[in-house]
């Protein structure tokens, strides 16, 4: 079987008064740091819709990797280590948290 895309989903929340700062930081600092080294092929960020009531985190980032081996290499990368340090320096002690993290393998692609 050919290698399939692999996904890392990260849910986050922050205090409403930090929302603009959080989004600016995530898009312009955090994601570029995580993408160093070329492991991640694409990042999609989503905000929870109010169309349906849900207890899911307000923000979801979907990181796409070429395959599971690329994801495993990223877990050991300097890019991830540096981004984690920077995140702690920027948000440590502030009202922002990672609420969920999960890895997903591709089952099927349609379209």
CATH number of the domain encompassing residue 21: 3.30.70.100
Residue-level pLDDT at 100: 96
Is residue 73 assigned to a domain? yes
Q: Residue holding tokens 């990260």?
A: 10
Domain residues for 49? 6-105
Give the chain's domain count: 1
Is residue 1 assigned to a domain? no
Is residue 39 assigned to a domain? yes
- Per-residue model confidence as pLDDT tens for the chain (111 residues): 568 999 999 999 999 999 999 999 999 999 999 999 999 999 999 999 999 999 999 999 999 999 999 999 999 999 999 999 999 999 999 999 999 999 999 998 888
Q: How far is CA 94 from CA 30, 58, 79, 89, in A?
A: 16, 17, 23, 10
The per-residue pLDDT for range 20-49, each reduced to its tens digit, is: 999 999 999 999 999 999 999 999 999 999
Is residue 34 assigned to a domain? yes
Is residue 110 assigned to a domain? no
- C-alpha 82/C-alpha 86 separation (Å) is 6
Nearest to 41 by CA among 84, 6, 77: 6
pTM of the model: 0.92
Is residue 111 assigned to a domain? no
- C-alpha 14/C-alpha 32 separation (Å) is 20
Instruction: Point out which residues pair with 80 in neighbouring strands.
Output: none
């Amino acid at each position: 079987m050919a290698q399939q895309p692999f996904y890392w989903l990260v849910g986050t929340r922050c205090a409403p008064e930090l929302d603009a700062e959080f989004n600016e930081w995530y898009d312009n600092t955090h994601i570029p740091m995580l993408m160093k080294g070329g492991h991640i092929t694409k990042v999609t960020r989503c905000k929870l819709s109010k169309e349906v009531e849900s207890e899911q985190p307000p923000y979801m980032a979907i990181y796409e990797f070429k395959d599971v081996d690329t994801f495993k290499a990223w877990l050991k990368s300097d890019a991830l280590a540096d981004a984690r340090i920077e995140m702690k320096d920027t948000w440590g002690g502030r009202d922002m948290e990672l609420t969920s993290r999960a890895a997903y393998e591709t089952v099927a692609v349609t379209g």
